[in-house]
Structure formats: structure tokens, C-alpha cells
């Protein structure tokens, strides 16, 4: 199974819309499965008109541990309170109390407690499930509980689930998180090809360069899609110049088009409502398949 990851660095540049349209076109020739690895803001399903109720078998999972205190053993030495880098422990009535949010499960408090009053315990802090799109392929998504950590681990679980529900798939298409943190590294890891989506703005180019450093770390083949290339032709040229210097192919240039917004409002992939944009995406798919 080949893995193609779509990432952008900056959020809000149209990455998930692009993933949805690429998925439909790739599915015409290949057996594919989609992995929504933007685990802090998973909305790929909505682009296909899929809501939470449409998912099968939501499974509770754990991506983290938390400190649990046995206050009967506690001798109020305050060592746990002092050691906690994340300030996740309150000190109330001369006893430690874990705050609702903040415990990263690092285990420092467990180590320093002289009487063994603290144990790390796994917590169910996320859920993972899959849905079938009307195009025949499946989409795996997840939800991390608010304030919880472990998004990188959750990305790995989403990818594992995608592989397990469709072991015969030719391609797993990964919608990566924005940024360059743990979930992005987990998304990109194991990829055969990476698509970097950028808009012609300084912020988007800056963030895409940072995301590209993650891709280069893994030595993955890559291409660039410039979305809304015509909103700033000067900056578009700057991106093209950058790509030329770095020897990265621009595999697609998509115009600013109100149909992208219309598609989001109607919960449809944009190629469903605009033939011209479909043709542009056909070209992008051709470039990806050639290189991947």
C-alpha cells in the first residue's frame, strides 16, 4: 500500500478540500482508503457530507496516561507539586490534586513520590471510527477529547486503522494536520509521496517551507500545489521561483473560485460541481501517479 500525504504547514489553505477531490479521482483507477490525520480538527468527512452519526464502530482508545493519587498514602511532602513541569497539580488543603487539564503523563511525580502514592494509569481520551463515502471508499477519522494530548499517537492509530479496514488498498491518502509538530511528523512518516499545498501569501509560503523540512527529513518525493494562485500573481511567481531553486515540481495551480466555497457549503467535493476544476485535478492526479 502506497501512502500519499497532503500537508500545508499553514492551516486554512484548502488542504482537506484538495484531499477530497484527489481521493475521488484516484478511486477511479485504484483501491484507496482515506485517513483523516488532522486529529485536532478532523473535518474531512464533512466535505463528503459525512457527519458523526454516519461513522461505524466508534472505538474508545487511549493515547495517554495520567497521574492517579492515593491520598491515604500521601505524607504531603509536596515533591510531586514541585516536580511537575506542566503545573498540572494543585495544592489544596495540604494535599495534591490533579487539575482537569494539563497532565502529560510524563511520570515525574510517580518517580519522586517517596511513598508510592502516585500511579500512572491509561485513560480513554479519544475515539476512532470509519465511514463509507458514496464513492465507495472508506474514510477513517478520530476525535481527541478537548484538552487532551497525544495527537501524534492518535495519528498513528488512525493510519493503523485505515490499513486494517482495507488491507488490499493500493493507496492510503493522508490528510495531515497543519503545522510541523508531532501529528504532522506522524502523518508524513512512511509516506511514498507528499503534496505540499500553499497559497501565494508570505505566511503560507513561510509555513510550507517549514512543513517541507519535515518531508525532507524523511527523504520523500514531493510536489507543490499552489491554491488560489491568481490572488497574488507576484507572490505566486515567488513560490514558483522557490520551487525551481529547490527542484520541486509544481504539480498543480488552482484558481480562486467561488465554487470552492459553494462546495464547502453544500458538503460536496469541489470537482462535483465544477468541470473545469475537475480537469485541473485530473492533471494533478496524473503528476502524482507518475512520480509515486
Find the binder of ligand SF4 among 30, 86, 218, 256 (CB under 6 A): 86
Looking at 108-116, 151-159, 164-172, 173-181, which segment touches ligand SF4 (CB under 6 A)?
108-116
Residue 123 binds ligand SF4, judged by CB under 6 A? no
Smallest distance, ligand SF4 to C-beta of residue 125, A? 13
Specify the 3-state DSSP secondary structure of 113: coil
Q: Give the single-character DSSP code of 82.
A: H
Q: Is 122 left (phi over 0), alpha (psi -120 to 50) or beta?
A: beta
Residue 67 binds ligand SF4, judged by CB under 6 A? yes
Residue 117 binds ligand SF4, judged by CB under 6 A? yes
Residues 175-234 that bind ligand SF4 (CB under 6 A): none
Find the binder of ligand SF4 among 1, 46, 68, 108 (CB under 6 A): 108
Strands 64-69, 118-123: pairing is antiparallel
Residue 41 or 75 with smaller CB distance to ligand SF4 = 75
Smallest distance, ligand SF4 to C-beta of residue 74, A? 3
Question: In sequence order, what DSSP letters do the residues of 123-182 get, joined into one string?
Answer: E--EEEEEEE-TTS-EEEEEEEPTT---HHHHHHHHHHHHHHH-TT-SEEEEEPPSSSSH
Smallest distance, ligand SF4 to C-beta of residue 177, A? 23
Residue 9 or 105 with smaller CB distance to ligand SF4 = 105
Angle between helices 15-26 and 258-265 in degrees, nearest 10:
80
Residues pairing with 139 in the sheet: 34, 131
Q: Rounded distance, CA 174 to CA 215, Å?
A: 14
Smallest distance, ligand SF4 to C-beta of residue 127, A? 22
Binding site residues, ligand SF4, CB under 6 A: 67, 69, 74-80, 83-84, 86, 88-89, 96, 103-109, 112-113, 115, 117-118
Amino acid at each position: 500500500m502506497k501512502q500519499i500525504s497532503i500537508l500545508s504547514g499553514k492551516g486554512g489553505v484548502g488542504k482537506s478540500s484538495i484531499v477530497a477531490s484527489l481521493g475521488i479521482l484516484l478511486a477511479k483507477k485504484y483501491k484507496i482508503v482515506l485517513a483523516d490525520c488532522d486529529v485536532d480538527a478532523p473535518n474531512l468527512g464533512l466535505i463528503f457530507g459525512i457527519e458523526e452519526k454516519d461513522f461505524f464502530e466508534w472505538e474508545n482508545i487511549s493515547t495517554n496516561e495520567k497521574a492517579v493519587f492515593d491520598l491515604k498514602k500521601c505524607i504531603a511532602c509536596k515533591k510531586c507539586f514541585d516536580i511537575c513541569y506542566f503545573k498540572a497539580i494543585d495544592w489544596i488543603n495540604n494535599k495534591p490534586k490533579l487539575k482537569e487539564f494539563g497532565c502529560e503523563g510524563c511520570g515525574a511525580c510517580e518517580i519522586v513520590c517517596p511513598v508510592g502514592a502516585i500511579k500512572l494509569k491509561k485513560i480513554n481520551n479519544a475515539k476512532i471510527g470509519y465511514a463509507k463515502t458514496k464513492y465507495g471508499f472508506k474514510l477513517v477519522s478520530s476525535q481527541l477529547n478537548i484538552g487532551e494530548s497525544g495527537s501524534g499517537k492518535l495519528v498513528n492509530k488512525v493510519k493503523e486503522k485505515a490499513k486494517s479496514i482495507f488491507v488490499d488498498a493500493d493507496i492510503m491518502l493522508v490528510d495531515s494536520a497543519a503545522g510541523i509538530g508531532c501529528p504532522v511528523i506522524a502523518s508524513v512518516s512512511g509516506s511514498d509521496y507528499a503534496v505540499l499545498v500553499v497559497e501565494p501569501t508570505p505566511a503560507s509560503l513561510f509555513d510550507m517551507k517549514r512543513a517541507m523540512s519535515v518531508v525532507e527529513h524523511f527523504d520523500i518525493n514531493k510536489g507543490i500545489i499552489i491554491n488560489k494562485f491568481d490572488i497574488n500573481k507576484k507572490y505566486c511567481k515567488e513560490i514558483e521561483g522557490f520551487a525551481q531553486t529547490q527542484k520541486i515540481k509544481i504539480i498543480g495551480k488552482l484558481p480562486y473560485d467561488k465554487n470552492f466555497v459553494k462546495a464547502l457549503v453544500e458538503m460536496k467535493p469541489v470537482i462535483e460541481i465544477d468541470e473545469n476544476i475537475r480537469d485541473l485535478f485530473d492533471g494533478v492526479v496524473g503528476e502524482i501517479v507518475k512520480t509515486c
